[in-house]
């Protein structure tokens, strides 16, 4: 079993650079076309460990009612799965900042409460989301109009689809224009906003 395989299993949030090709990890036996794993010594382990890169990080570990949870910054797919497992309803909650940074934590911890437990100050006054596998909850917290928050939702498609199924229903709450509990699917959102995917300009 290769060192890289062990590292990926132990730390699923780690990935490899693109220049770590299969030929670097396998030995190709030209006589019988069989591939065999090398048995890495310590020097080789150090060499390949330097090629591993962490795409995300634990922003903070928090204690809520004597239970330990983790808040992630830019979580990987594996970390999103682990976060959902920490919640009894398999839900996840988080915020997307204007610069694209994402923070996530278990869904039973509300946006208004998360900074009571963290040692960092998460700006929850931006795009708030929650997902429980059945539907999405988008809290505009009276900052965005319905049109503005739908526009942001569409812009954050690539982020949201890594967190949950964007084909599920989206419910929008507490919009600044008075709209509350407005329900859309993805197609309806695009029709509502008349979103121009050929333009980089948006409403916000």
pLDDT on residue 67: 84
CB atoms within 10 A of CB 5: 11
Clarify whether residues 100 and 133 are in a common domain: yes
Strand 102-106, strand 127-131: pairing: unpaired
Average pLDDT over residues 102-119: 94
Let me know: does 137 contact 122? Beta carbons within 8 Å. Answer: no
Per-residue pLDDT for 155 more than 80?
Answer: yes
- Judge whether 76 lies within some domain: yes
Range of the domain at 15: 3-54
Clarify whether residues 115 and 134 are in a common domain: yes
**Cα separation, 139 vs 172, whole angstroms:** 6
Half-sphere exposure of 87 (CA within 13 A, CB side): 22
- Judge whether 97 lies within some domain: yes
Clarify whether residues 37 and 62 are in a common domain: no
Per-residue pLDDT for 95 more than 50?
Answer: yes
Residue with tokens 């395989």: 5
Half-sphere exposure of 195 (CA within 13 A, CB side): 22
Clarify whether residues 14 and 106 are in a common domain: no
Clarify whether residues 35 and 82 are in a common domain: no
Clarify whether residues 25 and 118 are in a common domain: no
Residue 54's DSSP bridge partners are: 14
Clarify whether residues 10 and 104 are in a common domain: no
What percent of the chain has a predicted confidence (pLDDT) above 70?
Answer: 67
Q: How many domains does the chain have?
A: 2
- Judge whether 199 lies within some domain: no
Per-residue pLDDT for 23 more than 90?
Answer: no
Clarify whether residues 109 and 46 are in a common domain: no
- Judge whether 201 lies within some domain: no
86/18: higher pLDDT = 86
Clarify whether residues 109 and 42 are in a common domain: no
- Judge whether 142 lies within some domain: yes
Q: 54, 75, 94 — which closes off a domain?
A: 54
- Judge whether 204 lies within some domain: no
How high is the mean pLDDT of the chain? Answer: 76
- Judge whether 105 lies within some domain: yes
Q: 13, 37, 54 — which closes off a domain?
A: 54
Let me know: does 16 contact 3? Beta carbons within 8 Å. Answer: no
29/123: higher pLDDT = 123
- pTM exceeds 0.75: no
Q: 54, 77, 94 — which closes off a domain?
A: 54
Let me know: does 112 contact 124? Beta carbons within 8 Å. Answer: yes
Which of 95, 89, 86, 91 lies closest to 68 in space, CA to CA? 86
Q: In 13-99, which residue ranges form alpha helices assigned H by DSSP?
A: 22-25, 42-49, 77-85
Let me know: does 105 contact 69? Beta carbons within 8 Å. Answer: yes
Clarify whether residues 84 and 185 are in a common domain: yes
Clarify whether residues 61 and 11 are in a common domain: no
Clarify whether residues 61 and 116 are in a common domain: yes
- Judge whether 46 lies within some domain: yes
Beta strands in the chain (DSSP E): 14-16, 26-29, 34-37, 52-54, 57-64, 67-73, 92-96, 102-106, 127-131, 135-139, 169-173, 182-184
Residue with tokens 């030995």: 27
- 48-88 pLDDT tens trace: 333 333 445 677 777 788 888 889 999 999 999 999 999 98
């Amino acid at each position: 079993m290769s060192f890289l395989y062990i590292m990926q299993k132990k730390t699923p949030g780690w990935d490899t650079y693109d220049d770590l090709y299969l030929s670097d990890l396998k030995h190709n036996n030209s006589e019988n076309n069989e591939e065999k794993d090398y048995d890495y010594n310590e020097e080789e382990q150090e060499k390949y460990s330097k090629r591993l890169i962490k795409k995300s990080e634990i922003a903070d570990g928090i204690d809520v009612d004597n239970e330990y949870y983790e808040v992630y910054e830019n979580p990987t797919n594996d970390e999103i799965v682990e976060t959902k497992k920490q919640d009894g309803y398999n839900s996840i909650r988080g915020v997307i900042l204007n610069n694209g940074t994402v923070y996530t934590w278990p869904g039973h911890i509300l946006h208004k409460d998360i900074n009571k437990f963290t040692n960092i100050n998460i700006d929850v006054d931006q795009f708030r989301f929650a997902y429980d596998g059945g539907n999405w909850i988008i809290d505009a917290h009276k900052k965005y109009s319905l049109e503005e928050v739908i526009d942001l939702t569409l812009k954050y498609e690539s982020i949201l689809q890594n967190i949950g199924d964007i084909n599920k229903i989206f419910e929008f709450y507490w919009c600044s224009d008075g709209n509350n509990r407005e329900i859309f699917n993805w197609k309806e959102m695009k029709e509502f906003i008349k979103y121009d995917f050929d333009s980089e300009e948006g409403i916000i």
